[in-house]
Chain A
Amino acid sequence: MADTTAAYATPSPTETREPVLYSTDLVAGYIPGVNILNGCNISAYAGELIGIIGPNGAGKSTFLKAVFGQVKIRSGSIHLKGDDITGLKADKLVSKGVGMVPQNNNVFPTLSIEENLEMGMFQAPKLFSERFEFVTTIFPELAKRRKQRAGSLSGGERQMVAMGRALMMDPSVLLLDEPSAGLSPVRQDETFLRVHQINRAGVSVIMVEQNARRCLQICDRAYVLDQGKDAYTGTGRELLRDPKVTELYLGTLAADVDADTKARADSAAGTTTGTATGTAGVAPV
C-alpha cells in the first residue's frame, strides 16, 4: 500500500499509466486581467478519488469550472485520456466522459426524478434502462420516488439526484463541487459515503470540498490550492498529519470540528504513520 501511495503522490518518470485527466499550468479567470487560477497542475488517475481543498477564493470551484468549459482558460491545457479538451463546451465534454455536479441549482426542479436522470443521458437515450439500474443501485431511493418532482426534494435528496444525473452518461471522471455544502452532519456523512461508493464502482472523482478534514479522510489523494496554485499534494492522510497544512488550512477548521471527529481524524492519521513508514511526508510542489 505504501508503494502505491508513493507512486500516486509523485508519479515517477517511468510511470507508464497516463492520468485519466490532468491539467497543465492552467491559468483562468472571470474578469479580464484577473487570474483566479495561476498555473494549476492537477491530475487524476483511473479509479482515484481526488480531493481539492484550500482557503476561500483559492480557485477550487474555478478549477472545476475551467475543466468543464465554464470559465475562460487563458493558458495551459487540460487532457482527458490523452485528448486535449481545453476549452471544449459542456455538451462535448459530457459526450467525452466528464460529468459535473454543480454546487447550487443542480437539479431541474419542475422535472421528475426520472426525467432529471433522463436529461443526464440526453446524448445516449437508448442506454437509459441500463444506466438507470446502475444509478439506482447506488441511490436506491431514487427508484422508489422516480415520479416525484425534484423541486419538492430537500437539499440532500437533490444532491443524490444531481449525482445520479451526472452518472447516467457513465463518465470517466466525475467533478463534484462541494457536495456536502449546506447539508446537516448526518446528510454530510451520507453524501461522503455515496461519493466513496461511486468511486469504488470505478468512476474517478475530483471533489472540491470546504469540509477539508472529512474530504482528506476519504480521498486517495488531495491537492491544497492556494492563490490559484496547487501548493501541496499528497495522500489524504499525509496531508492530514502534515503540520504545515494543518496550521495553514486545517487549523481554523479544526476549532470548528467537535472533539470526537478530531480524535478520530488524529487516530486515523496516527495509523497511517504507523504503517506507511516509507512515505516522505508532504512535498510542496
Chain B
Amino acid sequence: MPLMYRRASPVVTTIAATVASMIMGIMLAVLMGLSPASAATSPSPEPSPSGDFTSTFTIGGLIRDGDTPIEGVEVQVEGDGFDEVGVTGEDGRWTVPVPGPGAYTATLLPDTLPEGIVPRDPENITRDVTLGTTNTVNVLFPTGEGTVVENNIADTILTRFIYGLNFGLLLALGAIGISLIYGTTKLNNFAHGEMVTFGAVIFFFFGTVIGLPLYVSIPIALALSAFTGYAQDAWLHKPLRRRGVGLVQAMIVTIGLSILARYVILFFLGGNIYTIDTGLTATIDIGPATITVASLVSMGVSILMLILVGLFLTRTRIGKATRAVSDNASLAAASGINVDRIIRIVWILAATLTGLSGILYGVFRQVNWSMGFQILLLLFAAVTLGGLGSAFGALVGALIIGVVTEVSTVWIPNDLRYAVALIILILVLLVRPQGVLGRKERVG
C-alpha cells in the first residue's frame, strides 16, 4: 500500500506530536506522543517465567466499517522480541495477550482489509502502545469505504480542498453566530462550542438513536437549538445586561456555562465517539476527487443558509437593524429600534445556525461530548481573521481556516492542522490588524 502523505522525519513527527499534544493539554496524549522516547527508559517486557500467555496483559481493539464489524483483519503486535498477530473475529474484535507491561507497537495490516475498505488515516496504521498500570489497552484503527486511494499529490490536494471547503462552510455557520452575537452585544460567547455540540447530539439522538427520518430529526434539532439561544438571552444575558454587568464578567459567565453544558452533555451522552448515519454514504467522483453525497449535501445546505443570512442582513428591515445595532447600539435605540428585541432575534438566529453547524460537523466527523469545544478556538479564529463583528468576514475567515486546516494535512501531521490555522491567524493580523474584511473607520 503506497503511503499517500509524505512522511515527516520521525524526529519531527515526535516533536510535532508532542507540541500538539501539549497544546491540547491532554496528559494521555502527551504520553503517547513521547512514547518512542520513553520506550528506551520504560521497563522492557519481561517474558513471564513460565512463558505461557495466559497473563491478563492484553492489547486489543475493534475494527469496523461504520457500524459493521469487519472480520478477518490482522493486526501485528511487536515489542522487544515479542511478535504476535491478532485477527478480528465476527464481532470485529481482536485481542493479543502480551507478556507484561512495556512498550509495544500495533500495526494494522491493510492488505487484510476487505476490498474497498481503507484505513481512514493511512499515516497512522502503526501505533505505539504502552502497557503501564493498566492491564488492557485498546487501539482504534478507524476504517471506512474508499475515502482515499490516491497517489497523485495534486489529486490529494484537490480532495482535501473540497473537504476543507465543506469544513469551512460549516464552520462559517457557527462563526457567523459568534459574529452576530459579538457585533450586537460585544460579548465573546465561550459557550458557543457547546451550542455546536448540542445541535449534533440532539440530531444524533433523534436521527440515529431513535431513528426518525432526516426531515423530522433536523427540524427538531434546529428548534431545540433555537430555544437554547432564546433561553441564554432571556434567562441569562438580558438580566446581566440589565444589571450592568461588564463584558469581561459576562464572558466569564459564558465560560462557566460552557463547562456546565459540556459536562451535562458528557453525563447524558457518555464519553464515547458516535457516528451519525445519514444514509448518504454513497460517493461521487468530482474529477480526480472522491467525495460523499453527505458532504455535497452539507455544502449545499451551508451555502444556501449563508446566502439566506446575507439576504437577511442586507435586504430585510430587521437585518438592517441588526447591522445598525452592531454599529452603534445607543444610536439604534435613539432611532427607535428596540435593541433588546434585536438582540433576542440575533441570539435565536445565531443558536439555530450554530446548531446546524453542529449537525453538519457531526456528519462530517463524529459526535462526541467535546466536539464543539474542540473547534471553539477555530470559530473565534475565523471571526477574528475575517474582521470582528462582520458577518461576511466570518464567512471568509471560516473558509480560509477550513481549507487551510484540511489541505495542510497533505504535508504536516494531522494533529498539527489546527495549529496551522492559528498561525495563519497570527500572520494575517500582523499584516492586517483589522482582519481580512475589517475596515478602519474614518474618525470624522
Interface residues of A (CB under 8 A from B): 68, 70, 89-91, 94-95, 100, 102, 105-111, 115, 118-123, 125, 151-155, 158, 165-166, 169, 182
Q: Which residues of B come within 8 Å of A, CB atoms? A: 317, 320-321, 323-324, 326-328, 330-339, 390, 439, 441-442, 444
Contacts of A91 in B (CB 8 A): 333, 336-339
* Complex CA–CA separation, A253 to B321 (angstroms): 41
Indicate which residue in B317, B321, B324, B336 contacts A94 across the interface (CB closer than 8 Å): B336
For the complex, give the distance between the alpha carbons of A251 and B402 in Å: 66
DSSP majority for the B interface?
Answer: helix
> Which residues does chain A contribute within 8 Å of B444, judged by CB atoms?
154-155, 158, 182
A95 and B323 contact, Cβ closer than 8 Å, known pairs A105-B331, A122-B317, A155-B444: no
B138 to chain A, nearest CB (A): 53
In the bound assembly, the distance between CA atoms of A22 and B188 in angstroms comes to 42
Which residue, of A90, A102, A118, has the highest number of chain B Cβ atoms within 10 A?
A90
CA distance A154 to B442 in the complex (A): 8
Bound form: Cα–Cα A106–B444 in Å? 11
Chain A residues with CB under 8 Å of B390's CB are 110
Residue of A nearest to B326 (CB): A110
The CA of A125 and the CA of B323, in the complex, are separated in Å by: 17
A182 to chain B, nearest CB (A): 6
Cα distance A125–B276 when bound, in Å? 46
Contact of A122 among B323, B337, B442 (CB under 8 A): B337
Considering the chains assembled together, what is the distance between the CA atoms of A198 and B424 in angstroms? 52
- Tell me how far the C-beta of B345 lies from the nearest C-beta in chain A, rounded to whole angstroms: 13
Instruction: Pick the residue among A102, A111, A151, A169 that contacts B442 (CB under 8 A).
Output: A151
Closest-CB distance, A155 to chain B (whole angstroms) = 4
Check A108 against B442 for contact (C-beta < 8 Å): no
Interface centre among B320, B321, B330, B439 (most CB of A within 10 A): B320
Question: For the complex, what is the distance from the CA of A98 to the CA of B331, rounded to whole Å?
Answer: 14
List 8 tightest A-B contacts by C-beta distance, closest first: A94-B336, A108-B327, A155-B444, A90-B333, A119-B324, A123-B336, A108-B324, A119-B335
Shortest Cβ distance from B342 into A: residue: A122
Q: Measured between alpha carbons, how far is A118 from B441 in the docked complex, in Å? A: 21
Q: Give Cα A156 to B327, complex, Å.
A: 19
In angstroms, Cα B389 to Cα A151, docked, is 15
B323 touches A108 (CB 8 A): yes
For A92, the closest partner residue in chain B by CB is B336
CB contacts (< 8 Å) of B323 on chain A: these are 108, 110-111, 115
Contact A106 B335, beta carbon cutoff 8 Å: no
16 contacts between A and B (CB under 8 A): A68-B334, A70-B330, A90-B336, A91-B336, A105-B331, A107-B328, A108-B327, A108-B328, A109-B328, A111-B320, A119-B321, A122-B337, A154-B442, A155-B444, A165-B335, A182-B444
Q: In the bound complex, how far is the Cα of B316 from the Cα of A206, in angstroms? A: 33
How distant is B37 from chain A, measured CB to nearest CB, in Å?
53
Report Cα–Cα, A158/B339, bound state, in Å: 22
Q: Which single residue of chain B is at the shortest CB-CB distance from A150? A: B327
A123 to B336 alpha-carbon distance, docked (Å): 7
Contact between A115 and B334, CB atoms less than 8 A apart: no
Residue in chain A with minimal CB distance to B332:
A119
How many whole Å from A57's CB to the nearest CB in chain B? Answer: 22
Residues of A within 8 A of B335 (CB): 94, 119-120, 122, 165-166
Closest residue of B by beta carbon distance from A175: B334
A residues within 8 A CB of B324?
108, 111, 115, 119
Roughly how many angstroms separate A120 CA and B328 CA in the complex, as a whole number? 13
Q: Which chain B residue lies CB-closest to A125? A: B317
In the complex, what distance in Å separates the CA atom of A111 from the CA atom of B317? 12
Complex CA distance for A213 and B90, rounded to whole angstroms:
96
- Taking A111-B323, A115-B324, A118-B320 as known contacts, 4 extra A-B pairs with beta carbons closer than 8 A to each other, sorted by chain A number, are A70-B330, A91-B337, A100-B334, A105-B330
Q: Which of B335, B339, B442 gathers the greatest number of chain A CB atoms within 10 Å?
A: B335
B-side contacts of A154, CB under 8 Å: 442, 444
Q: Are B327 and A111 in contact (CB under 8 A)?
A: yes
Neighbouring B residues of A102 by C-beta, 8 Å: 330-331, 334
Nearest to B444 among chain A residues (CB) is A155
Q: Tell me which residues across on chain A come within 8 A of B439, comparing CB atoms.
A: 110, 151
Chain A residues in 8 Å Cβ range of B320? 111, 115, 118-119
CA distance A106 to B334 in the complex (A): 10
